[in-house]
Amino acid sequence: MQGSPDAPIDDIDRIMSVMERAFSPEFGEAWNRRQVTDALIVGSCRYGLIAPDGSQNLESAPDCAGFFMGRSILDEEELLLFAIAPEYRRRGLGHQLLDFFISQARANGMGRIFLEMRRDNPAGFLYAAHGFQEIGVRPAYYRTASGQRIDAISQELNLLD
């Protein structure tokens, strides 16, 4: 696992490889390479990667299993993207990567983490397990490829408690 605001090309390849596998086209949540690259040029964005064995050693890993991207403003950080590739799910890597993201946010002096997800995304169980709480709903905010409208759920984790 590793986390850094500077993204070498190899790491952008790793992020995009997970992005293409992890997000269903139905929900249109995946970012393209340009969006990722542009976000990481901005100093307020950071990312982290996790290898299939849960380690930080991506250089010798056969694949990248997951990644996150976050953006901070003052003492608040938004979790922009969080994904584990389908073939590595349900073995605790999501928990590990989220722990890493949260502990880095704390170490960076953040007081609050914010995120937004579509209602009924199973990721909600993961976020709840780490203490995130619902703070708002935007009714019918997302529109899926098949035309369904889905609420956006805003969640926060207060790091000052």
Ligand X SMILES: CC(C)(COP(=O)(O)OP(=O)(O)OC[C@H]1O[C@@H](n2cnc3c(N)ncnc32)[C@H](O)[C@@H]1OP(=O)(O)O)[C@@H](O)C(=O)NCCC(=O)NCCS
- Per rule CB under 6 A, is residue 125 in the interface with ligand X? yes
From the list 82, 101, 114, 132, which residue makes contact with ligand X (rule: CB under 6 A)? 82
Burial 20-54 (b: 16+ CB within 10 A, else e): eebeeeeeebbbeeeebeebbeeeebbbbbbbbeb
Look at strands 2-4 and 45-50 and give their pairing.
antiparallel
What is the total count of residues that contact ligand X (CB under 6 A)?
Answer: 19
Which of 99, 160 has the CB closer to ligand X?
A: 99
Which of 90, 160 has the CB closer to ligand X?
A: 90
Half-sphere exposure at residue 41, Cβ-oriented, CA atoms within 13 angstroms: 6
Which of 47, 82 has the CB closer to ligand X?
A: 82
Residue 42 CB, nearest approach to ligand X (Å):
20
Closest chain position to ligand X (CB): 94
Q: Which residue has the tokens 């993201």?
A: 101
- Per rule CB under 6 A, is residue 94 in the interface with ligand X? yes
Residue 37 CB, nearest approach to ligand X (Å):
20
Tokens coding 50? 């996790």
In whole angstroms, give the CA distance from residue 140 to residue 144.
Answer: 10
Contact, 41 vs 59, CB < 8 A? no
Which of 109, 145 has the CB closer to ligand X?
A: 145
Query: Contact residues for ligand X (CB under 6 A)?
Result: 22-23, 82-84, 89-95, 117, 121-123, 125-126, 129
